[in-house]
Structure 1
């Protein structure tokens, strides 16, 4: 098949698959009428999508019609899996879904990535990927691809983490190293869908956009460090090199604390989880010698207990974080004019304490017009937002090119 015909074929396969995903079950005739494709073309496209295990017939559709009832088609993809994995300072999260949106895996394991060299962390990531792959294979699901989320600047074309300050990573070829291990360990990946790597905040922003439908938002990760993902006009804003959104390293206080990036006074030194823990429980601060590794949920539970007990300084620490959130957000609103600023991670867990203070500060110092139309909201995706967004990237890749999925024997 000539190249241009193959491109048209792929585009039409994607059109039919997306149409049924968005509109729900439809007969072949309805698909033809609604997409503008002719019936013969639709019949051929549907046959190929069925052969790839992406569509299924759901049973006769009568609806009072005269003659033989139509057979509605629906998205299948129950045997096609997408895997998202996130590595962060103190955990690894994994999320898997099938093409139809059924959640297959959703878990987080504690891991001290901040205290381990990159090679040790990659070994742990490889183990998590293998375990997830084995679990999916046991369900009869084959992976269409894997996306890894990392809190840092990522060259997405090469799968290299250029720098991840809080992990201490510099020029780590994550995709190449994990792909090499995957081949050795027998992780079954399709050759056309290699392991890819992206920034955690960008992936979380995509997940939030998918979940809420808001077309103009800024997502703040709310981890030990603070990253930002920007959705403008329904599209992720990547920048010339894909590095847009590193809001945590915007200078806000030249005389402030030293940041993991090597500079002083970055925004994340004021609002990151590490900053809050340092204010409330300095003996448990990140990086303290001999500290016990804790999942962020456990740290937050301890903080809530201190707060409930009326521990001095907790409310003031939260208010201070809220004020700095509002100050930094004012710059983001002036630059990107979002409708909402979505607070993820620990921000979402403490939203009832942080949002009123942050909103008040935003309205106090922001430009009146844009601020009046922007509000803080708490994400409902928890600490798994980035891994969920990572799996979503794989799903979108398949929807864009269904030929990535092999024809079943």
Structure 2
């Protein structure tokens, strides 16, 4: 019962920002003395701190409290075709460590990819520990169909992986005392975009584009996984029968016309440097933006074509689900200013409801960190579920800027 009440207070501060003890008591149906005692216990755990004076309302101004947890971190990691990455976030969502390595995962052995991922996780963990912090968990996102109960990547079309026990392989390499979990990277990107407490981000579709296209469905602030956990594989909707063969083996999947490969094929010849996988993805996209800004007709035509296909697929999803927003993440967000007109035109034309049923098109501000940020958020849920899992900080450990 005590941990449940601590969780309630901690989530209220996460979802709604700094609050006085009196305001917390009112909002959560607690007595003021109970709210004060819970805040004091969370402060002893290093999870909240004073945040200034809250003014307004009746009575004397109260001292507000906010999330601290600078010494408590979750790590999110990701395996994708073009990179492996890891990030450590503290309880307030601040990045303590960011690691990213460009690779061509399709050409590497599975063991080598996993080794490189674990190296990045260890680097992130080392930075947390060097700051006197505690890692409470790691969540790894992977591109492909994931059997979550067995933590088995059943099919990773663009990775070229089948039946890879990612969970046990990562866990064996890390040998860590903290929990390690595995999730689809599109689902993690969706979790990162569903901002707690923001009413405009509680019913959204997140579409994540890189070599493949995937994403997640958030309804009422909760991720929808589907009957067996395979929801969100948007990239494999058939939109062009008789079109190109997809990495999954089928013909005409949405990602064959809207994924990064489709854009690069349309925008540049095979020997163009922008097609070179040795060049970082950020640099390749920056070059495409530069060419479009300069009015290069081939680049603009390629962006329009991909934008058209994104809009067509987005309209199909909107007719089925009517989200408040479609959030485009991954590479889509990096070139979003050039894609938006085509996407919105085809969304409006393809949705039966007037004005696309009120569905907005938004672009993620998280870039290629959406999946790892979502992973870190999932890892931190263990603290929000039960704050008592965090041992009281040692007096010599720096927490919230004071010893």
Provide TM-score, normalisation by structure 1.
0.86
Is 1:273 aligned to 2:260, yes or no?
A: yes
CA distance in structure 2 between the partners assigned to 1:115 and 1:285 by the alignment: 21
Q: Which structure has greater strand proportion?
A: 2
Q: 1:23 to 1:382 in 2, by over 3 A?
A: closer
TM-superposed deviation, 1:207? 1.3
Q: Which residue of structure 2 lines up, in the alignment, with residue 152 of structure 1?
A: 144
Is 1:89 aligned to 2:89, yes or no?
A: no
Q: 1:323 to 1:46 in 2, by over 3 A?
A: closer
Q: Which residue of structure 2 lines up, in the alignment, with residue 354 of structure 1?
A: 339
Give CA deviations for 1:192-250 in whole Å, capped at 9, x if unaligned. xx111111121111211217642221111121111021112222111011110101011
Is 1:257 aligned to 2:244, yes or no?
A: yes
Helix, strand or coil at the partner of 2:229: coil
Q: Which residue of structure 2 lines up, in the alignment, with residue 4 of structure 1?
A: none
CA distance in structure 2 between the partners assigned to 1:61 and 1:334 by the alignment: 44
Q: Which residue of structure 2 lines up, in the alignment, with residue 322 of structure 1?
A: 307
Q: Which residue of structure 2 lines up, in the alignment, with residue 5 of structure 1?
A: none
CA distance in structure 2 between the partners assigned to 1:248 and 1:197 by the alignment: 21
Q: 1:100 to 1:308 in 2, by over 3 A?
A: closer
Deviates more, 1:274-283 or 1:136-145: 274-283
Is 1:140 aligned to 2:132, yes or no?
A: yes
CA distance in structure 1 between the partners assigned to 2:71 and 2:239 by the alignment: 49
Is 1:239 aligned to 2:226, yes or no?
A: yes
Q: 1:318 to 1:59 in 2, by over 3 A?
A: closer
5 Å matches for 1:393-408? 393-408=378-393
TM-superposed deviation, 1:109? 2.2
Helix, strand or coil at the partner of 1:221: strand
Q: Which residue of structure 2 lines up, in the alignment, with residue 53 of structure 1?
A: 46
CA distance in structure 2 between the partners assigned to 1:380 and 1:181 by the alignment: 32
Are 2:51 and 2:66, in contact at CA under 8 Å, matched by a contact in 1? yes
Q: 1:380 to 1:292 in 2, by over 3 A?
A: closer
TM-superposed deviation, 1:155? 2.6
Q: 1:157 to 1:53 in 2, by over 3 A?
A: farther
TM-superposed deviation, 1:71? 6.8
Are 1:82 and 1:394, in contact at CA under 8 Å, matched by a contact in 2? yes
Partner residue of 2:12 out of 19, 42, 49: 19
Aligned length: 389
CA distance in structure 1 between the partners assigned to 2:216 and 2:205 by the alignment: 6
Helix, strand or coil at the partner of 2:137: strand
CA distance in structure 2 between the partners assigned to 1:73 and 1:362 by the alignment: 43
CA distance in structure 2 between the partners assigned to 1:14 and 1:220 by the alignment: 31
CA distance in structure 1 between the partners assigned to 2:330 and 2:54 by the alignment: 45
Q: 1:157 to 1:403 in 2, by over 3 A?
A: farther
TM-superposed deviation, 1:329? 1.2
Q: Which residue of structure 2 lines up, in the alignment, with residue 111 of structure 1?
A: 103
What is the aligned-residue RMSD (CA, Å)?
2.8
TM-superposed deviation, 1:36? 2.5
TM-superposed deviation, 1:331? 0.8
Provide TM-score, normalisation by structure 2.
0.87
5 Å matches for 1:63-74? 73-74=65-66
Is 1:225 aligned to 2:218, yes or no?
A: no
CA distance in structure 1 between the partners assigned to 2:29 and 2:152 by the alignment: 42
Q: 1:266 to 1:33 in 2, by over 3 A?
A: closer
CA distance in structure 2 between the partners assigned to 1:71 and 1:378 by the alignment: 37
